[in-house]
Amino acid sequence: MPNLTASKLYKLLSKINVVWILVILLIIASFLIGVLFTKVQYLEKGMSVSTIDNQSSGDQLGPTQPTGPVDVAVGHLPPLGDENAPVTIVEFSDFQCPFCKSLFDETLPQIKKEFIDTGKVKFYYRHYPLTSIHPNAQKAAEASECANDQGKFWDYHDELFNNQADWESLSADEASAKFEEYAGSVGLSANEFSDCLSSGKFADAVNEDLNDGTAAGVDGTPGTFINGYLTVGAVPYEQFKAEIEARLEE
């Protein structure tokens, strides 16, 4: 064993202490980094879930929503149901919106069966085309107006939603050709419909609905007013039912 003087031993112990201190500091730093990373992941996950939850039932443009009843006009299209029904539903919708189709497929039939057909609810449709994300929505809305001009709004409304997957990704010209095809399917005059659609006859009517919806607090689709109270998105039927029943009790 080598002969160690006091000074050499002191230096050796000092080096060992420094090494251990560095090891301990490294362990502490690793632990803190791990904790920080876990918290960041948790926060990011929480933000992602929150974002998904907020966007999962509707297409939105902004954050504003009314908190109380709003005096919203029913528009000019014919309603589903008895015009004297005590509860008025006004839906602002977009024919290209997948959430609006979900409401059409899953919720509206139940509302119709339980409340519209029994004389408790009248249901009005108004246009709210989100053209920034749904480029064919404006022309689809105009097409439904042309169908209404021949007394077939609801038949054409159903045709557009039932066939949404066939026209939503088409070019403007291809989509218009599809809209003319659907006119034939519901028994419209082909020439009259074609002239109406190509002329943009009802573009202003669609824009009026859009402006009214925005003024009432709509910022996405579907936006559904039940006696003036706004329900945002394609929420489950039970939520609509609870809101309708609350309005019936007033």
How far apart CA 3 and CA 175 sit, in angstroms, is 95
Strands 220-221 vs 87-93: parallel, antiparallel or unpaired: unpaired
Q: What is the pLDDT of residue 139?
A: 99
Flag whether 61 is in a domain.
no
Is residue 247 a contact partner of residue 165, using CB atoms and an 8 Å limit?
A: no
Note whether 173 and 215 are same-domain residues: yes
How remote is the C-alpha of 106 from its chain's centroid? 15
Q: What is the pLDDT of residue 43?
A: 35
Flag whether 77 is in a domain.
no
Q: What is the pLDDT of residue 44?
A: 33
Note whether 240 and 146 are same-domain residues: yes
Instruction: Look up the domain containing 207 and give its range.
Output: 87-248
Q: Crossing angle, helix 137-149 and helix 153-162, to 10 degrees?
A: 150
Note whether 179 and 229 are same-domain residues: yes
Strands 220-221 vs 59-60: parallel, antiparallel or unpaired: antiparallel
Flag whether 69 is in a domain.
no
Q: What is the pLDDT of residue 200?
A: 97
Note whether 124 and 178 are same-domain residues: yes
How far apart CA 146 and CA 148 sit, in angstroms, is 5
Residues of the chain with pLDDT under 70: 1-23, 26, 29-67
Note whether 122 and 240 are same-domain residues: yes
Q: What is the pLDDT of residue 135?
A: 98
Flag whether 73 is in a domain.
no
Q: How many domains does the chain have?
A: 2
| pLDDT one-digit tens code per residue, 157-206 | 999 999 999 999 999 999 999 999 999 999 999 999 999 999 999 999 99
Q: Which of 13, 39, 56 is the last residue of a domain?
A: 56
pTM given for the model: 0.75
How far apart CA 47 and CA 102 sit, in angstroms, is 25
| pLDDT one-digit tens code per residue, 66-77 | 567 999 999 999
Q: Which of 34, 56, 78 is the last residue of a domain?
A: 56
Phi-psi region of 187 (alpha: psi -120 to 50; beta: other; left: phi over 0): left
Q: What is the pLDDT of residue 34?
A: 55
